[in-house]
């Protein structure tokens, strides 16, 4: 796990030392264990390292004898199998990131399709005078790029490209409208004009600073629902995935809620290791909101695991929200960024550098109510998912659904409506909301998050299950619940989903008049929404928290990433400074 960046100049000159230094400084939090770089010809490859595997010899960049170089962020879980098959290859480290380098030399730009893991990879093929970028099919690891008249540059986070002078902190209004309405933005274009995402599963080939080829490897198997699967087959797939996700040379743990997804991972970790698992759970002060930490502690105890509880209260909210918004440079207005950031900080304090979690189970196994509405008879009377945004459909936020509309129109005809909805979530909601949240909140503390549900072995089993094995009349994730009921009866497999939501509505309501005034005056909000809508949203925050939180998060995000307000004050001070600066 690391931060990576690089530059390919278009004029044949070497990249400037100042730009290299600014990229490394901007990504230092992603790699507190060291830095590496190579500058040759018109190309620079850079890495900041968080050492997880091969602590002694795994420094980057890595090179082949012929001079091809690599920097990578991520983990390759089928590294042992690939190494075993690559006889007579002159490996010089135990690092899992060395395999893609030699695989590229052997197989060319299709190399990433052989990899099982989470990764963002950059390769400089000096002989071919080209740069190759690749991202894992689920988009677990981030990668961004921008092209100017002078250079092509890439980095693990967009703010690094801005800091190095390759991008500008301007606003793409369509992406902004998506963030406010959907909680995330879709597609390749980010909220910063000119800065783009390497899409999940995409490989880019760049020559002389220009993208000359693209390949795409999907995370999901093709085709519609097939024959039912068994809980035994599910267990085999899950245990295989959890086992490979436990590869680590440093201490690891688990983020545990009271829900079935993390409970499943807990049971599988215990079975795979036979060891006592270290779990961390997050709850709310003063009994506010839905707090599942007592249930998490009970589940941990029944599995012989330790469970550390971290607590978030209103003081944490008011003081830390600006810092958390500053960490999410590719914005997602998902309130779960708050507890996820707290979990990352607690993991680091507990001496953990790796944490497993349950992200992806809802998307692959059909956990959301919007999937249930895609099955008859509900599909006959229900609107399509996300037909209305957080603020309804105001003219001021026009274009917010264009990306989703495009995906819906391109849905594969042989997939069921449930599969089509899942595929859209896996292509957009998952990488651009949930996984961005996980990556930034944990990397802010130098912690690696791992997601064993997001694995090709699991996806190949789950995605083509009959809809009825995903969506029942009362519950989603039917087959996962059926397996958990046998494997871990104490987990309450058929309990209703509660969600991992902090009580932000109550916290905002306590100071709603003050904060509404400050948010309405914040330049990023004032540029797109009327003060009357802002005041109405905060007046209803306790009953309906998302509109107020979307406004507050975006105001804090814009204050830091666009205006440049430091994130060291509380919410009120940050917004007041932004209002004066605007």
Query: What pLDDT does residue 2 have?
Result: 86
**pLDDT of amino acid 289:** 75
Interatomic CA distance for residues 475 and 470, integer angstroms: 8
> Hey, do 2-216 and 231-368+431-491 end up sharing a CATH topology, with the first three levels equal?
no
Whether the bond between 61 and the residue before it is cis, its omega within 30 degrees of 0, is yes
CATH of domain 2-216: 3.60.20.10
Q: Is 485 helix (H, G, I), strand (E, B) or coil?
A: helix
Give me the count of residues in the chain.
582
Please count the CA atoms within 13 angstroms of the CA of 333 that sit on its side-chain side. Answer: 28
d(CA 131, CA 115): 19
* Residue 573: Cβ-neighbour burial (10 angstroms; 0-12, 13-18, 19+): middle
Closest CA to 5 of 40, 41, 35: 35
Kindly write down the DSSP assignment for every residue of 530-563, as one continuous string: -HHHHHHHHHTTTT-HHHHHHHHHHHHHHIIIII
Question: Token digits for 312?
Answer: 């978030």
Question: Could you read off the pLDDT tens digit of each residue along the chain, which spans 582 residues?
Answer: 589 999 999 988 999 999 999 999 999 999 888 899 999 999 999 999 877 766 656 788 999 999 999 999 999 999 999 999 998 889 988 899 999 999 999 999 999 999 999 999 999 999 999 999 999 999 999 999 999 999 999 999 999 999 999 999 999 999 999 999 999 999 999 999 999 999 999 999 999 999 999 999 999 999 999 999 999 999 999 999 999 999 988 899 999 998 999 999 999 999 999 999 999 999 999 877 788 999 999 999 999 999 999 999 999 999 999 999 999 999 999 999 999 999 999 999 999 999 999 999 999 999 999 999 998 888 877 888 899 999 999 999 999 999 999 999 999 999 999 999 999 999 999 999 999 999 999 999 999 999 999 999 999 999 999 999 999 988 899 999 999 999 999 999 998 766 668 999 999 999 999 999 999 999 999 999 999 999 999 999 999 999 999 999 999 999 999 999 999 999 999 999 999 987
Judged by DSSP in three states, 213 sits in strand
Q: Which of 352, 360, 247 is closest to 308 using CA atoms?
A: 352
Q: Distances in Å between the alpha carbon of 91 and those of 64, 74, 111, 247, 441?
A: 9, 19, 17, 19, 34
Residue 311 near residue 285 (C-beta atoms within 8 A): yes
The per-residue DSSP string of 248-276 comes to -SS-EEEE--SSHHHHHHHHHHHHHH-S-
pLDDT at 54: 60
Radius of gyration of the CA atoms of the chain, in A: 23
How far is it, in rounded angstroms, from Cα 439 to Cα 120?
12
User: What 3-state class would DSSP assign to 16?
Assistant: coil
Distance CA 70, CA 228 (A): 42
408 CB-contact burial (10 Å; exposed 0-12 / middle 13-18 / buried 19+):
middle
Q: Residue 335's closest CA among 321, 356, 315?
A: 321
Element (H, E) at 362: helix 361-365
Q: Which of 261, 239, 1 has the alpha carbon at shortest distance from 117? A: 1
Sheet with 448-450: list strands edge to edge.
306-312, 278-284, 252-255, 354-356, 448-450
Give me the long-range contacts of 349-352 (CB less than 8 A, separation at least 24): 350/253, 350/278, 350/280, 350/308, 351/251, 352/251, 352/252, 352/253, 352/278, 352/280, 352/447
Instruction: For residue 411, give Cα distances in angstroms to 216, 374, 423, 424, 471.
Output: 16, 14, 8, 9, 20
Contact 282, 254 (CB under 8 A): no
Residue 115, helix vs strand vs coil: coil
| Residue 148 per-residue DSSP state | -
Please name the residues in contact with 475: beta carbons below 8 A apart, sequence gap of 6 or more: 481, 494, 496
Name the phi and psi angles at 388, rounded to 5.
-130, 140
Distance CA 492, CA 498 (A): 13
CA distance linking residue 40 with residue 333, whole number of Å: 40
3-class DSSP assignment, residue 142? coil
CATH class of 231-368+431-491: alpha beta
| Spatial contact of 394 and 533, defined as CB atoms under 8 Å apart | yes
**Three-state SS for 105?**
helix
Q: Give pTM, 2 decimals.
A: 0.97
What residues does each domain of the chain span? 2-216, 231-368+431-491, 504-581
Sheet holding 210-216, edge to edge: 62-63, 69-76, 117-125, 130-135, 202-207, 210-216
Helix (H, G, I), strand (E, B), or coil: what is residue 41? coil
What's the N-to-C CA distance of the chain in angstroms? 38
């Amino acid at each position: 796990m690391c931060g990576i960046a690089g530059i390919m100049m278009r004029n044949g000159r070497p990249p400037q030392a100042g730009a290299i230094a600014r990229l490394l400084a901007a990504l230092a939090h992603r790699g507190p264990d060291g830095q590496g770089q190579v500058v040759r010809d018109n190309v620079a490859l850079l890495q900041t390292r968080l050492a997880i595997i091969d602590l002694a010899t795994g420094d980057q960049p890595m090179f082949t004898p012929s001079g091809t170089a690599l920097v990578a962020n991520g983990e390759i879980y089928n590294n042992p199998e690939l190494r075993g098959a690559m006889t007579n290859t002159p490996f010089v480290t135990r690092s899992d990131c060395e395999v893609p380098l030699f695989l590229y030399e052997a197989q060319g730009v299709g190399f990433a399709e052989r990899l099982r893991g989470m990764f963002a990879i950059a390769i400089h093929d000096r002989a071919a005078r080209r740069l190759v970028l690749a991202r894992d099919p689920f988009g677990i690891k981030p990668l961004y790029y921008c092209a100017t008249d002078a250079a092509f540059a890439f980095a693990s986070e967009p703010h690094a490209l801005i800091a190095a002078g390759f991008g500008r902190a301007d606003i793409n209004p369509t992406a902004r409208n998506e963030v406010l309405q959907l909680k995330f933005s879709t597609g390749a274009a980010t909220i910063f004009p000119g800065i783009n995402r390497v899409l999940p599963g995409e490989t880019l080939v760049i020559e002389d600073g220009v993208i000359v080829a693209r390949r795409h490897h999907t995370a999901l198997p093709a085709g519609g629902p097939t024959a039912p699967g068994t809980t035994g087959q599910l267990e085999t797939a899950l245990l295989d995935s959890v086992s490979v996700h436990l590869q680590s040379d440093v201490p690891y743990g688990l983020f545990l809620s009271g829900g079935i997804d993390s409970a499943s991972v807990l049971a599988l970790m215990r079975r795979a290791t036979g060891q006592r698992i270290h779990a961390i759970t997050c709850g709310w002060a003063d009994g506010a909101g839905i707090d599942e930490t007592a249930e998490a502690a009970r589940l941990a105890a029944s599995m012989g695991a330790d469970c550390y509880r971290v607590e978030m209260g209103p003081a944490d909210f008011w003081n830390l929200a600006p810092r958390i918004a500053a960490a999410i440079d590719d914005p997602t207005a998902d309130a779960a960024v708050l507890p996820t950031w707290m979990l990352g900080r607690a993991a680091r304090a507990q001496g953990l550098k790796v944490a497993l979690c349950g992200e992806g189970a809802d998307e692959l196994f059909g956990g959301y109510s919007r999937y249930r509405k895609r099955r008859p008879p509900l599909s006959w009377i229900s609107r399509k998912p996300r037909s209305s945004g957080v603020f309804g459909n105001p003219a001021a936020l026009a274009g917010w659904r264009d990306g989703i509309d495009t995906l819906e129109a391109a849905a594969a005809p042989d997939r069921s409506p449930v599969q089509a909805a899942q595929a859209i979530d896996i292509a957009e909601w998952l990488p651009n909301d949930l996984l961005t949240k996980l990556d930034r909140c944990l990397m802010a503390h130098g912690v690696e998050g791992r997601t064993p549900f997001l694995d090709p072995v699991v996806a190949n089993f789950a995605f083509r299950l009959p809809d009825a094995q995903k969506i029942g009349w009362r519950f989603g994730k039917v087959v996962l619940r059926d397996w958990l009921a046998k494997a871990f009866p104490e987990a309450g497999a058929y309990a209703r989903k509660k969600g991992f939501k902090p009580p932000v509505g109550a916290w905002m309501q306590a100071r709603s008049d003050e904060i509404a005034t400050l948010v309405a005056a914040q330049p990023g909000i004032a540029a797109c929404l009327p003060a009357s809508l802002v005041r109405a949203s905060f007046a209803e925050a306790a009953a309906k928290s998302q509109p107020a939180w979307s406004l507050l998060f975006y105001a804090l995000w814009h204050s830091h990433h666009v205006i440049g307000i430091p994130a060291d004050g509380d919410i009120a001070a940050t917004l007041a400074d932004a209002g004066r600066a605007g």
